[in-house]
Amino acid sequence: MKIAFLGDVHGCVLHALGAAVMLQARRGVRLDAVVQVGDLGAYPTPERYDEPSRRFGRDHPAQGDFVRLLDPAPGFAEGVRAALDEVPAVLFVSGNHEDHEWLDGLHEAAGADVVPVDPLGAYRHVACGNVVDVAGERTAFLGLIESPGYMDFEPDAYDRLMAAEPGGVDVLVTHDGPYGMSQNRHGEVQGSAKLTRLIEHLQPRFHISGHYHHPNGPRYYGRTTSFALAQLVRPRVTKWDPEPVNPEQRVTDGSVGLLDTETGVFEYIDDAWLTEVCGDSLDLAGLVAAAR
């Protein structure tokens, strides 16, 4: 079985589907599942954006693709349907940049732990603390981050996974990463100590995360191998870079991962064809047609 993992999307949902389609076509594999590690950018309207999403959205039009997905124009819908003819719908966990109240309401209305968030069924949210079958792998999902004074993991979800039997899950998908995984630009240690304890308790074969916008791994925690993914589409400009770093809005190396569950091999994708998934207004239907 082959599972694709996607890094932080921040609204660029057409790029995410395009990357999955191209991965399958150019590698000559069949994807059995696609999983996104949070910060999909799931907001029902631009008015519900948090401040960082509003700020970055001004310079990155593709960030609005998630909102467009909720009421898709005919051409937009055509591209999404074409992609879904090729690859599975995307499962995702909550990041710190989502409308959590809106997502909770979808679960309450459906009475389900996994719910579609768009009318085309392209993206399906997994509520925190749940273990679901993903391509035959017992996969646990824990969203949000540990950041004192800002956000923490949902207590019930975290406690439920901490109470699970060690070795009871094969893959742990989180948004945050384990403590000590890296340092930020100011030399501050990144990651969550709570998440480290959870990994050490659960001991899944693999842990996959995002949030810090750069590839990081493999790192080892007992029998667990941990990887973090880059941001799917790096910003065109940032406050740290004097020159544009991604002017053509291309998919980033290391933002896509591929897990072969039979061989137990996870790899970061940095193939040249990733650059073909690009633009402020991605022609997903054209991309799918070319991949075919």
Convert the pLDDT of each residue in 180-236 to its tens digit.
898 888 888 889 999 999 999 999 999 999 999 999 999 999 999 999 999 999 998
Percent of the chain with pLDDT over 70: 100
Convert the pLDDT of each residue in 96-142 to its tens digit.
999 999 999 999 999 999 999 999 999 999 999 999 999 999 999 99
> Number of folded domains in the chain?
1
Supply the DSSP symbol for 144.
S
Mean pLDDT of the chain: 96
Quick one: which of 88, 155, 161 has its CA closest to 123?
Answer: 88
The per-residue pLDDT for 59 is 86
Parent domain of 70: 2-291
* Distance in angstroms (rounded) separating the CA atoms of residues 105 and 124: 14
What are the beta bridge partners of residue 3?
Answer: 33, 259
CATH code, domain carrying 282: 3.60.21.10
* Distance in angstroms (rounded) separating the CA atoms of residues 131 and 170: 10
Asked if residue 241 has pLDDT above 80, the reply is: no
* Distance in angstroms (rounded) separating the CA atoms of residues 30 and 39: 25
Asked if residue 239 has pLDDT above 80, the reply is: no
The per-residue pLDDT for 57 is 87
Total Cβ atoms within 10 A of residue 244 = 12
- Please tell me whether residue 131 adopts helix, strand or coil conformation: strand
The per-residue pLDDT for 66 is 98
**pTM of this prediction exceeds 0.75:** yes
- Which runs of E-coded beta strand occur in the chain? 2-6, 33-36, 90-92, 114-116, 123-126, 130-134, 137-142, 171-174, 182-183, 189-190, 206-209, 216-221, 224-228, 256-260, 265-268
* Distance in angstroms (rounded) separating the CA atoms of residues 21 and 13: 13
H-helix segments, 1-151: 13-27, 51-57, 65-70, 74-84, 100-110
Convert the pLDDT of each residue in 57-96 to its tens digit.
888 999 999 999 999 999 999 999 999 999 999 999 999 9
Burial of 33 (0-12, 13-18, 19+ CB in 10 A): buried
